[in-house]
Structure 1
Amino acid sequence: MGRKPNPMEKRAGSGEWLTDHVYYFTHQIVNVFFILDEHDPDTWVIVDAGMPRSASRIIREAANVFGKDAEPSALFLTHGHFDHTGGIKELVERWQMPVFAHREELPYVLNQRPYPAPDPTVQGGLIAKASRFFPRYSYMPPQGAKALPEDGSVPYLDDWRVIHTPGHTPGHVSFYHGLSRTLIAGDAVCTVKQDRLLDVVTQDQHVTVPPVYFTPDWEEAERSLKRLAELSVHHLGAGHGTALHGCTVSKAIRNLSDHFQEECPKKGRYLPR
């Protein structure tokens, strides 16, 4: 492996450091995260694999941040939707790294089961209306995937833990680092209204519900949000939208949890009757 830089150097490509040990960048509409182990500068991992045909961008970004010979120890999936697994085949072939997902997500990640159909009837903007064309299958890792540990630990990252946050998908997970109060939430929450094209383009920033067109279980999504609302969060990175920082982040998550029903769409095929 190539030498990894001291993260305090803030070496970066076109993204930014969420914290001293977490780097992220946006490819099209989705974020990809690199987590550097704070105890071992030779260990870093990837969270999510971006949109289809994103592998070359991810590889280039990793070279910019960690050096051209750097190799990640693993790839973790918050979930298996197409926009989070698009580069997975090329990344695994390049780096021969293991892929981890929650055990309840594995049937979808391994294409043993399709995700529920997107909901173009849901209340929302242009992206919601176009969701009928989105794939229901994951981009499958060529060497399969492993289940994340049941005890909530994160392989290769001793100070992080996994939080099961279903609703958007059955095995959706978020990753939390208590010492720095950092949350990588995947699509359990967004920091932009992902169904609205204008908000996506302008990155109008606030904590909001999961992508409405691809969330089939809103009751589980609310329970997951309540779990996240119990955390102390100072740095929030979501699957969609720009990062949020500061003492108001936890308050924003709690406020969304308290007013979840008001923020949910009022019509759609998956809403509670």
Structure 2
Amino acid sequence: MEYLSLMLGSLATNCYLLKLGDGKCVIVDIGEGAPVLLRRLETEKLTPCAILLTHGHFDHIAGVEQVREKFQIPVYLHALDVPMLSDRNANLAYWISDSPFQAVQAWQTVADGQTLTIAQKDFTLIHTPGHTPGSVCWKCEDLLLTGDTLFHMSRGRTDFPGGSDAQMLESFRKLKALEGNYRVLPGHNEESTLSFEKEHNPTMRGL
């Protein structure tokens, strides 16, 4: 699957535009900088069909409502991170930024193992708690969008409210058990592959 990536906001959060064909796309995570994303959509002549969230921290959802409202598209996430869509304390906005937070007004929840079909493409949610209770990875074709769970040679922090080191290790076991290779698109920093991470990531190697 073809995709574009943008870095948004002060924490350089990765936002991905997954191309579905016929000028349509799915957006994964939208941090601060929705106007930057909107300009890119216009330049690329892309119309979003949905927004998928890997978790509910401010640097991944700050621009969601502006885009959702403009295009009237669904927002999907795990139920355990729903409180972060409207609570500045829960989503760490108070810690990350002084910018106003526009709460997300509409969303739909997706459970572990559930698959969404959007424009004939299947997106499967893998619940991977540890960074937050509702952290997930999204799997589509050869892509694995890992949010703040799996990074290149690293893993997400577990010291925020709701984080759990034990859950993070279980999530890594779940990802390590996936068959086949995937292009890993993380929430921050550079891309990787699942086969590389299985062989070289310190956490995965230790499991």
What TM bracket, shorter-length normalisation?
0.7 to 0.9
Larger radius of gyration: 1
More strand by share: 2
Query: Residue 240 in 1 paired to residue 182 in 2?
Result: no
Give yes or no for contact 2:147–2:187 (8 Å, CA) kept in 1.
yes
Where in structure 2 are there 5+ consecutive unaligned residues?
none
> Which letter does structure 1 place at the counterpart of 2:127?
H
Using structure 2 for the length normalisation, give the TM-score. Answer: 0.82
Q: Is 1:61 the equivalent of 2:40?
A: yes
TM-score, with structure 1 as normaliser: 0.64
1:14 counterpart residue number? none
Aligned residues: 200
Work out whether 1:186 is the aligned partner of 2:128: no
Aligned 8 A contact 1:101 1:148 in 2: yes
Output aligned runs, 1:83-102, within 5 Å.
Answer: 83-102=59-78
- Pair 1:217-2:157 in alignment: no
Q: Rate the CA distance shift 1:246–1:166 in 2: closer, same or farther, 3 A.
A: closer
- Residue deviations 1:187-242, cap 9 Å, x none? 01223xxxxxxxxxxxxxxx202035537211111111111111233411100101
| One-letter identity of the residue aligned with 2:84 | Y
Q: Is the 8 A contact 2:27 2:50 kept in 1?
A: yes
**CA RMSD of superposed structures (Å):** 2.8
Give the drift of 1:41.
2.8
Structure-2 residue corresponding to 1:25 = 6
Residues 172 and 247 of structure 1: CA distance in aligned 2, closer, same or farther (over 3 Å): closer
Contact 1:85/1:139, CA 8 A, preserved across alignment? no
Residues 234, 249 of structure 1: 8 Å contact kept: no
Aligned to 1:126: none
Matched, 1:173 2:136: yes
Residue 45 of structure 1 aligns with which residue? Answer: 26
Distance 1:190 1:246, change over 3 A: closer
Unaligned runs of 5+ in 1: 1-19, 118-130, 192-206, 261-273
**How much does 1:166 deviate?**
0.7
Give the equivalent residue in structure 1 for 2:110.
148
Percent identity of paired positions between Structure 1 and Structure 2: 24
